[in-house]
Structure 1
């Protein structure tokens, strides 16, 4: 028996309690393997390493078909190694044959994500493609299942701003408590978008090209670029303002950088990089 409680051997008799019932609490990967087949033994080692890395986010049940073949026969295992994913007492997925670490890691990520994490993963793909209609459909389905989920509402408001539905976004934001994590992201995006609506971004960029010391033009360009999703360009404009005149519009170079970075969400590499640049300049 493995010393780790989330890695254990399973047989036909223990399968209902250890795997099926247990998967209602923690999702399980069931690996059918024999030590005599090198690819199967390698798959076992990879999964054991991943089980350690994921620290109990999934259970790894091991069935040695050479010594206890009955469970493999019941589940109609055809090849070795063979994997079954058990979630909420049901087989949710399966893989046949040797699998590399990347495939196994992707499988684990999918089964251990929370609903909010899974939603964010889907939305990230739609956002990268700027497919706001697709994002909205995903959110509608999520909100239908959990209409009061604040994390889902935050994403809903953010997508509405991207689509230009400012009034609807404002109504959704009004229904979200101020202290809700990441509420600031769509709230600030809405603020910037409404400001950008009164500006001519293309004209501002032309003015910057003609005169790099035109700080009003740089400010207007930064707002327009941030709303368009051109974050690095927008932050470069702000850095130029910051380095030229700290007093411009009451330190607008710094405060506008903070506003733009708020729309980029936690964990943004770009935001972290420019935050370091700003800190280095200020200190």
Structure 2
């Protein structure tokens, strides 16, 4: 439960040591004599609410707190000590930016943003795309330039069968983006995702093709290539040689030097000229 507590020698054992046995506690050492301390303390108070943790504040201006200051070996203010299971797990010295501070704290606590993202990822993993989309819209309204959220939005859109929206988002990723490689792969596999999103597929060949596309979307490329090859052997002309075209697309995704490209291109050539 989030709360901010003024820490003294009297309540240190109960509010910090005992409390840290179940969840890490952040202890801020500050002083009214240093102008950076007040706004930093306010920021930490806000983060303690959004990330749901206890913040203990020790005033370095109070002589009776000298024992605590010495025990923690405080070198400067503001200074944050993370206490986990009675031990100091981390020390954050000086004034950090809000982004850097959240990143350090997220080792021990989960922010509202991370909690939302986790819920989105879980919904997508469970193929509950209709639940993921509203959460993504809400999250992107707050951080519209978040590339990780945009990638998740594209995945959810693909899951809903809306390939045009997904394509529009994925095509805007740049090589410098952390998610570029995954976005590029999704873009190259767009037709497979569109097929995998279809419901109530009818016909023997269509079902085999559909399952192979699902394997490709899951990046089980060898199983997908084998399934497409089997379909090509059984019905080479089906749907305008869709199985062969799918294999050629996967060769492009994997690249000409990939062992699966070499292996299955040779198999495909063999079947084509028998």
Is the TM-score greater than 0.5? no
Q: What range describes the TM-score normalised by the shorter chain of this pair?
A: 0.3 to 0.5
Q: TM-score scaled by structure 2?
A: 0.44
Larger Rg: 2
Q: TM-score scaled by structure 1?
A: 0.43
